[in-house]
Amino acid sequence: MFSLREFIKKGLLDAIGKMADYQVILNATGWYEKGVLTLEDLAEINAKIDEKNTPLTPEEDEEETVEEEENIVE
């Protein structure tokens, strides 16, 4: 069965990194005010935005570089 809530949430989550953060936030807030999204949905969207904006630590950056080099060799 089609769920408008899941449809909107998926679209907003997919927009993270493709649209400006403030646009995703304002859109999510609008859907919350209409009663489509819940506070939990907003928290999930916010967490994904925070994750995207969290810089990698030098260790994480080094691990990704090693993994990328291994993939190139294969």
Q: Could you tell me the residue ranges of all domains in the chain?
A: 7-73
What are residue 19's DSSP bridge partners? 16
Q: How does pLDDT run across 20-65, given as a tens digit for each residue?
A: 999 999 999 999 999 999 999 999 999 999 999 998 777 766 666 6
Which pLDDT does position 59 carry in this prediction?
Answer: 72
Please state, for a pLDDT cut of 70, what percent of the chain lies above it. 80
Which pLDDT does position 57 carry in this prediction?
Answer: 76
Residue 54 Rama label (left phi>0; alpha psi -120 to 50; beta) = beta
Which pLDDT does position 70 carry in this prediction?
Answer: 63
